[in-house]
Amino acid sequence: MSKLDINKIRSDFPIFADKSLIYLDSAATTHKPKQVINAISNFYSNYYANVHRGIYELGMKATEAYQSARQNIANFINASDWRSIVFTGGTTESINLVAYSWARKNLKTGDEILITEMEHHSNIVPWQLAAEETGVLLKYIPINTDGTLDLSNIDKLITSKTKLVSIIHQSNVFGTINPIKKIINHAKKVNAITFIDAAQSIPHSHVDVQDLDCDFLAFSGHKMLGPTSIGVLYGKTELLDSMMPFMSGGDMINSVTMTESTWNDIPYKFEAGTPKIAQAIGFGAAIDYINDIGIDKIHDYEQSLLKVALEKLKSIDELEIYGHQTGENGAVISFNLEGVHPHDLAQFLDQDGIAVRAGHHCAQPIMNKLEVSATIRASFYLYNTEEEIDKLCASLRKTQSFFN
């Protein structure tokens, strides 16, 4: 196993004081270390105030912490300008922001949007709605049953009509890490805008937006040790500058009269109302925590867990793993146990203190492709252990014997 001080890491998470809990659902949401919890508590307890408003010590301290978190996140993804970091409610809101403020203003009948069959619903439905309203054709890159994208016809899918390509970086079902740089390069040949859903990749590996040269990228705080209800939309500043606001109200304005208004500079133009101050501060603390350990160390450790988990799960008769046959994958495994409905299996595992996800994972097109209604998903993060994998396999075998 790659070396992390796993005992020290687990001691940072209050929830793991319950030694019986085996949490294998980090692809849905991650638990929070005390450093994040304390950062939020400290804000509320010691310097709570609104930001960008009060010219007094508490207000200035809160503003400094809020803005520091934004710069911290910009550094984490190697954004060249902090103004390209827009705080949103999460990845879903970030996608909707672009669907409303860019797509509906720039697309017209005859244009095309390209997504993939692998997408989370949050990267399908906003584009369906935008396509319906603009008369745009929505196309998709198909997937193979091994959990990879079928890029054999990429030159026919990305054409001069393609104006937007929006793709998931890492599948939340298969763990497949898509060749997004290759797809971005194809999109650039026809001057298409690119949007990357990085909700599942950024918590687990280094993502450099300048290296990718994507136009937009989105991710969520709660999937990387931070609070819920905060996410990030990264956008190239020239694009963000050209876009209309997504929501309107306070803080996103420059001036208001009874007849007209003008807009604030980016990123504030897209952050109407009282900002997500506590959430941003907590998110910044989560980034600090990840940086202190090292994202590359986290990635290597997760990959070692993934290798062990795949080997041990494959030894269980009548257990089918989806994907993980070729290519690079994140530490996510979807599977089914023959003769046991995924929802039933999840309940049996829960009786042994094992938390996994059961369902379609907000990816019904993938389930349709696999011809299943649902799967079990086990997903790993820096606080999981090989011992937990052993207990998962033992519980699966026990459940299997109950049904046989």
At residue 398, the 3 state secondary structure works out as helix
Give the end-to-end CA distance of the chain in Å, rounded to a whole number: 34
Roughly what angle, to the nearest 10 degrees, separates helices 57-76 and 277-293? 50
Cis check for the bond before 126: say yes or no (omega within 30 of 0): no
Length of the chain: 404
Kindly report the three-state secondary structure assignment for every residue of 160-217: CCEEEEEEECECCCCCEECCHHHHHHHHHHCCCEEEEECCCCCCCCCCCHHHHCCCEE
Q: Which of 129, 362, 372, 393 is catalytic?
A: 362
Nearest to 187 by CA among 148, 219, 213: 213
User: Strand 354-355 vs strand 357-359: parallel, antiparallel, or unpaired?
Assistant: unpaired
Catalytic residue status for 214 = no
CA distances from 130 to 117, 123, 208 (A): 18, 12, 28
For 248, the token pair is 């309107």
Contacts (Cβ under 8 Å, ≥6 apart) of 98:
195, 216, 233, 235
Neighbouring-strand partners of residue 233: 86, 218
For the CA atoms of 258, 267, 167, 108, the dihedral, rounded to the nearest 10 degrees, stands at 30
Residue type, 95: I
Query: Which tokens sit at 186?
Result: 């194809």
Sign of CA dihedral 14, 309, 322, 350: negative
- In contact, 155 and 98? CB cutoff 8 Å: no
Sheet of 357-359, strand order: 319-322, 332-337, 375-379, 357-359
DSSP 290-352: HHHH-HHHHHHHHHHHHHHHHHHHHTSTTEEEES-SSS-B-SEEEEEETTS-HHHHHHHHHHT
Residues recognised as catalytic: 362
